[in-house]
Structure 1
Amino acid sequence: MQNSGKNPAVNLGEEIKEGNALLQLLKEEQAVLINADVEALARLAEEKNKVVVRMTELAQRRHRTLTAAGMEASEAGMKTWLKTAPPAAVQAWDALLELAKEAKELNRVNGLLIGKHMARTQTALNVLHGSPQSGNMYGPNGQSTGQAASRKLVVG
């Protein structure tokens, strides 16, 4: 095995550990979003930020090591280096890529959940401000208050 100064895989175990921590936090975030627990979201956001900062530091370290080994500091450079790497390094890299793929999907779903909460909140705010978005609301005179009945022009 190459010496640790030129071995980009030396910290892959740590990256995998942090990736698993991020996955766990994303799963917790999903449960919190489903339960609409706003207070827990703030705590999770702070924890996620710490994990992401640590993962970024580890990736930057790997990129510096790749450069020291004469490779491009990128995923392509890592793939090139892995062609001559021990099987354990290849397996660790594949595991890290799989974690990243799973985290990306969880993050996408959580984003959709956040979008639904925001839409629901915006609808509630519109109702409170007297400007409902649907035409099935009625005013004090019994007439529909839908926006389809009125046209607003902006001149200028």
Structure 2
Amino acid sequence: MNDALANSRKLQDFLEKEIVLMRSLDQLLIEEQIVLTNNEAEKLGTITPEKNNVLMQIVELEKNRNLFLSAIGYTPDARGMQDFFAATENSDKLEDNWKNLLSISSDAQEKNRTNGLLISRQLSRNQSALNILQQNTQTGSMYGADGQSKNNSTTGRGIIAG
């Protein structure tokens, strides 16, 4: 087997694994978006660790792919991939997988941006609610240490049952 074919197979292996992981990440981002839209923040506790795990695997694969590109004489980046395609015969399937990976990555990036906006919006709502609650007293606390309201809105006598 010649070097070009072996190199193509190795890069194909990297890309196929990256595509699987990027699809997983994309799906997790969809789930995260649903949870954020439905205001079910408690469910983020299961999605976030999964998402972080997938991201770490993607970063590791990308790093290894780039190291491999360097080892075979190409720059460790998208330009290096394009140069490899240009220098290699019958790299159409490999190039299609590369374009597929870039497309999935772009979709995931947009979903991640949207999720960030949803999180910011929710944080803003939470802060507004806290501000409203804290406006009710000058001390910022509605209840004293005894659990009784600090707001004495009743003047005069209370209700007398009799």
TM-score normalised to structure 1 length: 0.79
Which moves more between the two structures, 74-83 or 96-105?
Answer: 74-83
Task: Give, as a single letter, the amino acid of the residue that structure 2 aligns with 1:52.
Answer: L
Question: 1:95 aligns to what?
Answer: 100
Q: Does 1:74 align with 2:77?
A: yes
Q: Offset of 1:6 from its aligned partner?
A: 8.3
Query: 2:5 aligns to what SS in structure 1?
Result: coil
Q: Offset of 1:9 from its aligned partner?
A: 3.0
Query: 2:97 aligns to what SS in structure 1?
Result: helix
Q: 1:52 aligns with which of 51, 55, 80?
A: 55
**TM alignment of 1:21-32, pairs within 5 A:** 21-32=24-35
Query: 1:11 aligns to what SS in structure 2?
Result: helix
Cα displacement string for residues 97-146 of structure 1 (whole angstroms, at most 9, x for unaligned residues) = 00011001111111111111011001001111118xxxxxxxx99xxxxx
List structure 1 segments (4+ residues) > 6 angstroms apart after TM superposition: none
Q: Offset of 1:4 from its aligned partner?
A: 4.3
TM-score normalised to structure 2 length: 0.76
Q: Offset of 1:38 from its aligned partner?
A: 1.4
Query: 2:12 aligns to what SS in structure 1?
Result: coil
Task: Mark the structure with the bigger radius of gyration.
Answer: 2
Question: 2:109 aligns to what?
Answer: 104
Which moves more between the two structures, 1-10 or 83-92?
Answer: 1-10
Q: Offset of 1:43 from its aligned partner?
A: 1.1
- Alpha-carbon distance in 2 for matches of 1:82, 1:98: 18
Structure 2 gap segments, 5+ residues each: 137-151, 154-162
Question: 1:121 aligns to what?
Answer: 126
Question: 1:13 aligns to what?
Answer: 16
Query: 1:10 aligns to what SS in structure 2?
Result: helix
Q: Offset of 1:5 from its aligned partner?
A: 8.8
Q: 1:83 aligns with which of 83, 86, 99?
A: 86
Of all paired residues, the percent bearing the same amino acid is 34
Q: Offset of 1:45 from its aligned partner?
A: 0.7
Aligned length: 134
Structure 1 gap segments, 5+ residues each: 132-139, 142-156
- Alpha-carbon distance in 2 for matches of 1:33, 1:20: 20
Q: Offset of 1:84 from its aligned partner?
A: 3.0
